[in-house]
Structure formats: C-alpha cells, structure tokens
C-alpha cells in the first residue's frame, strides 16, 4: 500500500537503545535509505519506540515484541517493502521472534529484503527451518560476513546470497571533545587504551566470567606498566558496565582505570575512538569503530563474527579469552604496540575496502527500490 509521493519502508531489527552496535547499524542503514529515497516514509519496528523516535526524529517507530498478528498486520499493510535489517539477529531461539513478524508480512505479499544481516549460530531445527523458508521468498538476501553466508547455505537456503559488510561501516564520526574525557575522570597527558568487555550471553556461552575478568585485568595491568597507559572501559550496552567493574576489581592498577558513564550516540563513540592509542576488545562494533578511525586494535574473539572481522582486516586475533591463557595474549598485545605504525597502512587499505563492501548493500537495495518506485508510479498514475 502506498502513501503520498514516496515509498513506505519498514525496518525490523534489534533496535531501541539496548546495544550501541545495533544503534550504529540502524544509523548507517537509515542514512543509506534517506540518500536513496529522500521522500520515503520509514517505519522502524523497535523494542523501545520512544528511544528510536528521539534518536531518529525523521522516522516513525512502532513496537513489535508482544504485539498481536492483527496489530502487526495493520502496520505491515501500509508498507511497500520490509527490510530485515542488520545485526546478528538470525540465531538459535531468537530468529523465530523476528521471523514471526516477517511471516505476517509475507502472508500479505509484502517484499522482503535482508540488509547485511548477521546469521548464526543456527542449529535449532525450528529456527533453521523458519530461516530457510522465510528467506527463500526474499527478493534479495545480503549478509554482513562470510560466516553468515555459510550458515545460510548449511541451513539449506538456495537463494543467491550477497556478502557485503556491517552498516556501521557507513557511519561518520562526531567530534568527541577532550573536555568530555576530563569530565569522565580521564586525566590529560596519558596514553589512553580503550577496552571493551561483554556478558557471556547466548553469543558467548562458553565464557567463564571470573576467568575472563581476570584475564582482561592482566591485559589492563600489562598496558599500564608497559606504556604508562590509562585504561577506559567502553560499555556498548548496559550489562557491560557490570562486567567492566568486574575486570577493574581484579586490576592491581585499578586507580589507572575508568568506566565511560555518559550516554553517547554511535557517532560520538566513533569520535571517541580517535583518542585511544590502542584498543583491545570483545564487542564487534567497538572493534569496527577502532578500525574505522585507524586506532590499532586487538580483537578478543568470543564468536565467529569477531573472528571474521579480524580475518577481513588482516588483524591477528587470539581465541585465548575462552581458554584464559594470558601468555600468548600479552605477547600479542606487546607485539601490536611495537608494530602499530608498520601495520597501520595495510589495515587502513583493508578498512577502506570493507567500507566499499558496506556500500555494496546500497547497490542491491537500490535495484529493489527502483523496481518498487516504478510500480508505485504506475499505481499513482493509474
């Protein structure tokens, strides 16, 4: 169903302020859509519609969790296209929740496009079957990494699958003034190391919490003594604050550490990354942000998506977090610091290439939008 002069596009994902990485994805995705369809009416299906409306005043936001099929259908009836957008949302026990909305859309004959979506782990038969059947009728399937494509192929999806890159690579940094760091309790004149931790959760169930807290504390202490650093923990979602405190509690040099407390937009955190001399982290989008601004970074992979990023960017990544082996990790941190300048140019080239791949999602989306626009004009003029 069409409205006014432009298309009406729905965007469904894990949006609503719970996770800074998901908000970065939404920001990149919406900027891309606005560039392609300036007159589009965009409706975001959000876990917290009020948060989404405040962060993005030019879109409408509606709830989708706990909403009946009838109420979902009323919103979906207004759309020309549904975008299943970005982020690692198609995995065991979670995929079925998003795809419930998608199925209602498809029953109405609404075209579906996946926008650089993340897939896996996917072993549950219910979720696997729903992913295979639902995406089989999508007009285009784009995923953000090779691992997601492999998971879809193993699930039995026969559609062509285009590998692009995370929409967060489309973001532009905002300035993060040094005064804000002072307000956060970070002193001037020190080298600054950013650290990102995460909760075990479904994506990292094998993590022993106390063990990895101690391991990251050792990395923090090592950098304090090795390069006279100050350590700033950057929570990407609320639960990260608790785990940052857990790491800090094990640090011998805890007085040289702080946890970022202010509420900042994805673009501001991207700007913050420029202040770091080094970044060590577990969260995918923390590492993406470091890469985008040229900060040397060491990924601590707890999941395939982080390992995939490291491989794409040619950056060493040790799977020592789960095994809690501090020797190789500290040696790698030491090597990263010593070789940071030699590695910078090669990493920057790879980052530029991945940014181009992220823009590749636009090309796929553009073809779908042009086809819908042509049909829309025909209807308007009929």
Helix, strand, coil percentages, rounded to 5, for the chain: 55, 15, 30
Cα 330 to Cα 215: distance, rounded to the nearest angstrom? 10
User: How would residue 2 be classed by pLDDT, with cut points 50, 70 and 90?
Assistant: very low
Domain range summary for the chain, segments of one domain joined by +: 8-163, 178-353
The pLDDT tens digits for 324-381 are: 567 888 998 999 999 999 999 999 999 999 999 999 999 999 999 999 988 877 776 6
| Backbone torsions φ then ψ of 211, nearest 5 degrees | -65, -45
Each residue's pLDDT tens digit, 244-278:
999 999 999 999 999 999 999 999 999 999 999 99
Decide: helix, strand or coil at residue 173.
coil
Task: State mean pLDDT over 112-127.
Answer: 96
Q: What does the block give as tokens for 376?
A: 């829309």
Per the CB < 8 A criterion, the answer to whether 94 and 130 are in contact is: no
Mean pLDDT of the chain: 92
pLDDT at residue 204 tops 80: no
* Reported pTM: 0.94
- 3 has pLDDT over 70: no
DSSP sequence for 226-269? HH-EEEEE--SBHHHHHHHHHHHHH-TTGGGEEE--S---HHHH
- Rounded to whole angstroms, the Cα distance separating 214 from 259 reads 17
| pLDDT of residue 1 exceeding 80 | no
What is the distance between the alpha carbons of residues 283 and 264, in angstroms, rounded to a whole number? 16
In angstroms, the CA 154 to CA 173 distance is 37
The maximal CA–CA distance of the chain, rounded, in angstroms, is 74
Q: Answer whether residue 107 shows pLDDT above 90.
A: yes
Q: In what order do the strands lie in the sheet containing 297-299? A: 257-259, 229-233, 191-196, 278-281, 297-299
Per residue in 51-78, is it b (16+ CB within 10 Å) or e — as a string?
Answer: bbbebbeebbbbbbeebeeeebeebbee
Fold of the CATH domain 8-163: Rossmann fold (3.40.50)
What pLDDT sits at residue 207?
67
Superfamily of domain 178-353: Glycogen Phosphorylase B; (3.40.50.2000)
198 vs 149, higher pLDDT:
149
Does the structure show a pLDDT above 60 at 236? yes
Question: Comparing 8-163 with 178-353, is the CATH topology the same?
Answer: yes
Checking if the pLDDT of 219 tops 80, the result is yes
Contact 84, 113 (CB under 8 A): yes
Residue bearing the bigger pLDDT, 329 or 20: 20
Helix ranges restricted to H, 303-339: 304-313, 320-323, 326-338
User: pLDDT exceeding 90 applies to what percent of the chain?
Assistant: 84
């Amino acid at each position: 169903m069409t409205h006014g002069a432009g298309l009406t596009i729905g965007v469904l994902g894990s949006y609503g302020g719970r996770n800074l990485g998901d908000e970065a994805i939404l920001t990149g995705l919406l900027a891309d859509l606005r560039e392609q369809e300036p007159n589009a009416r965009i409706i975001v299906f959000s876990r917290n519609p009020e948060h989404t409306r405040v962060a993005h005043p030019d879109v409408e936001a509606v709830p989708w969790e706990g909403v009946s099929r009838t109420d979902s259908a009323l919103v979906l009836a207004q759309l020309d296209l549904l975008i299943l957008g970005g982020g690692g949302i198609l995995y065991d026990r979670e995929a079925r929740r998003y795809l419930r909305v998608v199925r209602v859309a498809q029953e109405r004959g609404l075209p579906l496009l996946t926008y650089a979506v993340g897939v896996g782990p996917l072993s549950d038969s219910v979720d696997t079957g729903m992913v295979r059947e639902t995406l089989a009728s999508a007009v285009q399937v784009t995923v953000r990494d090779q691992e997601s494509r492999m998971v879809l192929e193993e699930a039995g999806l026969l559609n062509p699958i285009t590998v692009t890159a995370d929409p967060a690579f489309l973001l532009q940094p905002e300035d993060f003034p040094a005064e804000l760091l002072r307000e956060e309790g970070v002193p001037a004149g020190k080298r600054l190391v950013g650290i990102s931790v995460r909760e075990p959760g479904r994506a990292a169930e094998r993590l022993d919490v106390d063990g990895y807290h101690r391991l990251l504390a050792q990395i923090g202490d090592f950098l304090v003594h090795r390069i006279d650093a100050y350590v700033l923990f950057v929570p990407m979602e609320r639960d990260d604050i608790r785990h940052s405190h857990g790491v800090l509690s094990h640090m011998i040099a805890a007085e040289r550490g702080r946890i970022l407390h202010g509420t900042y937009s994805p673009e501001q955190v991207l700007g913050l990354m420029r202040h770091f001399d080094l970044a060590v982290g577990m969260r995918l989008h923390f590492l993406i942000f470091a890469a985008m601004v040229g900060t040397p970074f060491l990924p601590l992979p707890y999941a395939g998506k982080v390992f995939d990023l490291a491989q794409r960017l040619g950056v060493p990544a040790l799977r020592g977090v789960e095994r809690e082996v501090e020797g190789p990790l500290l040696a790698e941190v030491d090597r990263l610091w010593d070789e940071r300048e030699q590695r910078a140019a090669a990493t920057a080239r790879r980052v530029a290439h991945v940014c181009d791949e992220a823009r590749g999602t636009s090309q796929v989306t553009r073809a779908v939008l042009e086809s819908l626009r042509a049909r829309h004009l025909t209807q308007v003029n009929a």
